[in-house]
Amino acid sequence: MRATWCPTVALFACLAPALSLAGESIEPPLAPDAALLARIEALPDNTWLKLPPVRIAGDLGWLRDPDKRKFGPRCRDYSNWMAWAPERRRALYCGGGHNIDPMNDVWEYDLAANTWACLLPPDSIVPRKPREQSLAEFVKANATFKDGVVTTPSGAPLRPAHTWCGLCYDPERRRMLFLEPHQGLLFTDKAELARGFGLTPQAFASQRKPGSYIWSFDPVARKWDDVQTGVAGGEGAIMLYVEHLKALWVKSARGPTALYDREKQAWRPLAKCPVGYGAVGAYDPDTRTVVVINASRNEKTPETTYQTYRYSFDADEWKTVQEKAPAGGRDASCHFHYDTAARRFVLITNAAEPRLWLYDAARNEWSDPNPKGDIPPKGRLAGYYDPERNVTVNYDGKEVWVYRCKKQVGQP
């Protein structure tokens, strides 16, 4: 395990191998649903479509929960982002819940096949209150402490936290990246962990690498293969892959913003950020900006208001562009993406009505599009924008919907 940045099943019998953009075989192979793709292709502007029941594939031998065998990974607490992998034409998903599913498994959704595939089953997860053995005994058998980082023997985070708005994909390195503020040790007894490693609590604390961690997952090798430490992140931070710079951008939970310099292997501080905890953001490659929604609570009243901010990479500058934004734009209750075809930001939330909003950055305008079609019910959610099929995908833990904003690329 290195503490520096890393440069670089049961299946249906009829499945044909999938190919990446480079012509490479993608595993697991999943057969496209031609009839479904035709329906998605024909989807009109501003319309939702509910998909047929999802299929499940991949490494499923570990699953005891019949719902996961039927519906996929389910939605995890505060883990509403899925990471689009362009060469795979699929979206990856992970994240730990509070007491439900605090797991280090990784799944992948293929819209063309309408299939969830489990890429990596979870390692043994450290229990909050062990019953049959002490936590120290559990740690001896199921954890390692090397180079200041605690992992499972396979290199996964021991007990991961939520992803908040900190899950993205680096297409240069072909890795899913997970910004984790608790070092993979959410809700663990650090004194008992130390005892399991034969250390005093003080020695364990002093030897652990500081800061938030960025865990790296290789979907080809199907393993957590690296971790970067010392990141200024925290709960509720935002992490995005910046296409035009081929770099990572992080807005920490308490304000500081930085860009990762690959050549120097160091973080470069950027303009001071006015945005606080729980914000969500999306990157616009057309204007080379990030749009962020932030919630502010009035100390004297119970009212919560939402503001819209823009960060410009060219100017290294933050601007408050609207004092009001749609309600519900928080990392716990929404997902937020840039639609490259419509050139609109798409906000899908379960915390307020209406639950779908569009933001036009050129006009600095939020709008309720009043969409048609199969409107998803209010509930849990996770999603991403699929540029291959030009739809925003919304998963509620059981079923999947897709939303088409505009069919024609660049249409006003």
Place 92 in a pLDDT band, splitting at 50, 70 and 90.
very high
Asked if residue 410 is part of any domain, the answer here is: no
Instruction: For 35, list phi and psi in degrees, rounded to 5.
Output: -65, -40
Q: DSSP 3-state helix, strand, coil percentages of the chain (rounded to 5)?
A: 10, 35, 55
In a domain, 344, yes or no: yes
Query: For the CA atoms of 170, 81, 234, 265, what is the dihedral angle to 10 degrees?
Result: 0
Q: What is the SS3 assignment for 168? A: strand
Count other C-beta atoms under 10 Å from residue 386's C-beta.
Answer: 22
Q: Are 336 and 354 in contact (CB under 8 A)?
A: no
For residues 368 and 377, is the Cβ–Cβ distance under 8 A? no
Please indicate, yes or no, if residue 217 is contained in any of the structural domains: yes
At 5, the pLDDT band (50, 70, 90 cuts) reads very low
Residue 259, domain extent: 18-404
Q: For the chain, first and last CA: distance in Å?
A: 49
Does residue 409 lie within any of the structural domains? no
Going by C-alpha positions, the residue among 236, 231, 238, 249 that lies closest to residue 312 is: 249
For 342-379, the pLDDT digits (tens) are 999 999 999 888 999 999 999 999 999 999 999 999 99
Is residue 207 helix, strand or coil? Answer: helix
Residue 8 lies in a domain: no
Pick the more confident residue, 276 or 312.
Answer: 312
CATH number where 378 lies: 2.120.10.80
Give the DSSP per-residue string, 36-87: HHHHHHTPPTTEEEEPPPPEEEE--TT---HHHHHH-S-PBTTB-B-EEETT
Stretch 80-89: mean pLDDT: 98
Q: Is residue 12 assigned to a domain?
A: no
pLDDT for 129: 65
pTM to 2 decimal places? 0.92
* Mean local confidence (pLDDT), 70-88: 94
Q: How many residues does the chain have?
A: 412
- Give me the helices (H) in 145-271, please: 190-196, 201-207
Is 130 inside a domain boundary?
yes
- Region of poorest pLDDT, from 26-30, 120-124, 297-301: 297-301
What percentage of the chain reaches a pLDDT higher than 90? 71
Strand order in 90-93's β-sheet? 55-58, 115-120, 106-110, 90-93, 83-85
The number of folded domains in the chain is 1
**Residue 348: partners with Cβ closer than 8 Å, 6 or more residues away:** 334, 335, 336, 355, 356, 381, 383, 392, 394, 403
In-domain check, residue 163: yes
- Given pLDDT bands bounded at 50, 70 and 90, which one contains residue 11? very low
Name the residue with higher pLDDT: 95 or 298: 95
